[in-house]
Structure 1
Amino acid sequence: MRYTMMNHYVIRFFLVCQLVLGAMFLPSIAAAVSQPEAQEAEPEKGPHRGRMLRDGNFAVELAIFETGVPPEFRVWVSDDGEPVSPDSVDLQVKLTRLGNVVDDIRFRAEGNYLRGDTVIYEPHSFVVTLIAHYQGKTYRWEYDNFEGRTLIGDGVAEAMGIATETAGSATLHQTIRVYGKLVYPPSAKRQIQARFDGVIKQMHVGLGEPVSKGQVLITVESNESLKTYQIQAPMAGVVSELFASAGEQTAGRTLLEVTNTGTLLAELAVYPADRHKVKTGAPVTLSINGVDAPLSSTVSGSRTSLRSDQARLFLADINNADGLLSAGLFVSSDIEVDTFEVPLAVKRSGLQSFRDFTVVYAKVGEEYEVRMLELGREAGPWVEVLGGLEPGTEYVTENSYIIKADIEKSGASHDH
């Protein structure tokens, strides 16, 4: 006796196509789902809320029991409506899971029922084959007990952007998110003064003008010798401040300022809860408004004093050779505080919720099925997996919500 849900898979397959791609692109699919087949009747339930399997007067109730124990099968047998002693029945159940993984379960008598010897691990999704021997006769049933499973053709999955990867080991980089701004390092600025007081005969540069090292900036006529001399740029940079003009006396004051814009410092505020985690040399990834690609650097040190809000400013050098960045820009940054290898991890983008579990969707052929996960540490795009998934499993990493929506639409129940 065989019960199947394949017709539901086909209907759901067409519905997903229509939902995601639109009826205007898939008119044939829209027509195919316009008159779905009548839904199969719910299977008969027994007094212990298990599934009733009948052959003439002989009946078996198969239930998953998990009150106070890990999930296990329990079976009650009756003949012509009367309970049958469990000692008089030889029973075996075979569960065929997705990917042809088979669990063989034997039973022993306990009280007025038969108790399975194997934990029924999640997901409870399999083809059930039950064979019972009673009074010289063999009874056999087979039915689908699927949950969290759906069928989507590879062509449709590709069109919907469903992407997969193989689960395996990964290097996790644990980071903390901090914020700050760009400033110039102290050595970036030079204030230019005249060596001997005199009259400024000529200003050779203007505000904002780039200068090279050794370039003439100012010509001065000495008050004592009445001879002219030139002031040259001590370094390459930009004229960032201009305090004097031709014809004025130098008078011992600062005449202009040159700033080397080739290097900036990111001042990153780290609060007490995370301060002990940040080490000199730690990798830093910075994001700046208006800059498409993130910038990479390392922690070069920190300010000795704390801010008024108790944050310490950690520093990271930023290459600004192209001159696109400016002091004062606000930045967000991820500082790496730990790196570790894990034997099994999945992409965070593939995670979904299913009942009370966090899951990914395993892919076998053109079928997808939930895998309930026990999760560990998180870092960046990765999450460590402690249980619920076998290494080497192909799983959905992108657009997994489409799989979830299709499964929820199918209404496949958790049959206990």
Structure 2
Amino acid sequence: MPNTESFTNWENLVKKQLKTEDIYTILNKDNLEGIEVKPMYNAVQEPLKNLPKVEESTHLVAAYHESLEEDVFAFLLEQNVENLQEKTIFINNKDLAEHISPEDTDQYFSLIDVFDEKAGIINEQLAKELLGKNFKRNICIDISLHQNAGAAIYQQLGIALAKTKELIELLGEGILNKILFRIAVGGNYFFEMAKLRAFKLVFNQLTKEYGADEIPYIFAETSWRNKAVADAENNLIRSTLELASAMIGGADAVYSNNYLVDKSTANSEEISFKQQIVLAYESIINVFEDASNGSYYVEDITRQIAEKAWDLFVEIEENGGYLEQLKQGVIQKEIYKHAVEEQKWVEEGKIKLIGVNLYPKLEVKKSADDLYSEKEIKAVRWAEMFE
């Protein structure tokens, strides 16, 4: 039971510090997700189920480099490498996947999305070829594109569920434990943490419709959306927070995209990966099942995101499903509306990017209309407006 007297004492303390009785107007903070955020919490509406990760410990994934073979246990592979033993391998190349036949002792995962977003179809032949491989997770549902294109959090999750439903209808419910979800994690620290937790809840709910009780395998990577070409070192801070959100939120694997947006060097690749190492081995946040479980704030926004995502999923299904909505241009238009509104917040300074719209070195060079199209889902960085 919440302690009313203690909460009142906190309110009085805040009023004293802010020198006003109207603390809730001052402390209220808007967000584009439509999530109600309270300035203070002393209870949670309903405790949420503690959903573990699929993996016991989060995989720290590096882009493959020969010099890393001895110390790194998980690689993202773009081309074939001989004699990689006792490693966890994430395949990111369709042509490469065709020529790999893992042994039973190997751990291979597919990051190849079988959805063709532009054509509005599933590549059924590719899906069946991947299912024929001895991979731990054969089918990737990639919603990192949607995050980088400016989709709201609940849109990303609703779309992930709708894409899952399309795959089940095509390939059968037996694929539920063969799917990997590739998700981009943005800079809204607690919201992104709640996003992964909420997705576990709604995916688990969907699997129960088919008599299963599955937890989603989540491959989380840092977003491109909030990265800038100028002041690239700030990108390191942003991506470190994103990796922390992913680990605390319960991702099974994490990967840091290169913090240098427009180029890549051996040094920048090493530094990008070592962000994960510091978090895992010095902060020790990659081993917990559900570290934020019990936090009133995170629990509350997790519940709200889960409810909004499920409602959107139901709406998509009632209107013909994801592929049909994609062909009609509905999905693209809804993402476009949110992305443009988000870009306006960047332009107005409501969303702050150090070195871009706060302490800037840049000025506005492009409008939102130059960056976005309501007919296409495409990745856009906020800072492109200024570059």
Q: Which TM bucket (shorter chain)?
A: under 0.3
| TM-score, normalising length: structure 2 | 0.21
Larger CA Rg, structure 1 vs 2: 1
| TM-score, normalising length: structure 1 | 0.20
